Amino acid sequence: MNIALIGYGKMGHAIEALAAERGHKVTARIDRDDPWPAKIEADVAIEFTTPQTATANLLRCLEGGVPVVCGTTGWYADYERVAGECKAQGGRLFTATNFSIGMNIMFALNRRLAELMKGRTDYTVGISETHHIHKLDAPSGTAITLQEQIVECGARKAEDVPIASYREGEVPGTHTVVYDSEIDTLTLTHEAHSRKGLALGALLAAEFLASAQPGVYTMKDIL
């Protein structure tokens, strides 16, 4: 599979290294300030850039007929617009707030725990997330997803699920959900040890998208 990398920072390098191990080839690298080619020669693009540039990057890929996997967060105010454009053009788009398989398992656990905690007013709940100092959005998209799941389950209102964000060194990403009461504390934590888990998930998404039917997909479609 030929891959175009939109964004060639630390995540782009991690994806490129793992792509080679899986028998794929990176045929295009478009980083900040690089001019876009007239045509992207790739089976799929993987986009990890910034909240400010993601929307335009995704639309460019879709307009060029290139299926695109997006790992950038912080741009979701434009999600409906981009998803609508994808459907209108018969394109393929794969989005996720976190591509780690382990984190997506935590999403399932978080949803189940929220269901069990529905109506348990003796517990308060909060979320914390810690990332490297280079991360541009706060709170993280993953933390927002955890919060949304708790709210969707009817366990709490959004204002009752505070998110604390920390930026420290080169931390790949740690997310914790805490239910606390006078009697005890329940803690659910996912700690990434490196960017490899995110890179693997993004490549699994790209492999899926390269042969998928037109549409908009998420990690639920490959788990």
Copy the structure tokens of residue 69: 């996997």
Residue 223 has pLDDT above 90, yes or no: no
- Is 200 in the same domain as 168? no
For 173, counting Cβ atoms within 10 Å of its Cβ (0-12 exposed, 13-18 middle, 19+ buried), the class is: buried
In this predicted model, what pLDDT tens digit does every residue of 6-22 receive, in sequence order?
999 999 999 999 999 99
- Is 95 in the same domain as 200? yes
For 189, counting Cβ atoms within 10 Å of its Cβ (0-12 exposed, 13-18 middle, 19+ buried), the class is: exposed
- Is 35 in the same domain as 143? no
Q: Model's pTM, two decimal places?
A: 0.85
- Is 93 in the same domain as 203? yes
Structural domains of the chain, count: 2
135 among known catalytic residues:
yes
Print the domain residue range for 124. 101-191
In this predicted model, what pLDDT tens digit does every residue of 122-146 receive, in sequence order?
999 999 999 999 888 899 999 999 9
Could you say which of 135, 157, 190, 193 is catalytic? 135
- Is 64 in the same domain as 146? no
- Is 133 in the same domain as 200? no
- Is 94 in the same domain as 112? no
Could you say which of 24, 131, 175, 190 is catalytic? 131
- Is 93 in the same domain as 110? no
**b/e map of 54-72 (b: 16 or more CB within 10 Å)?**
bbebbbbbbebebbbbbbb
Residue 213 has pLDDT above 90, yes or no: yes
In this predicted model, what pLDDT tens digit does every residue of 147-174 receive, in sequence order?
999 999 988 999 999 999 999 999 999 9
| Region of residue 123 (left: phi > 0; alpha: psi -120 to 50; beta: else) | beta
Identify the CATH number of the domain in which residue 113 sits.
3.30.360.10
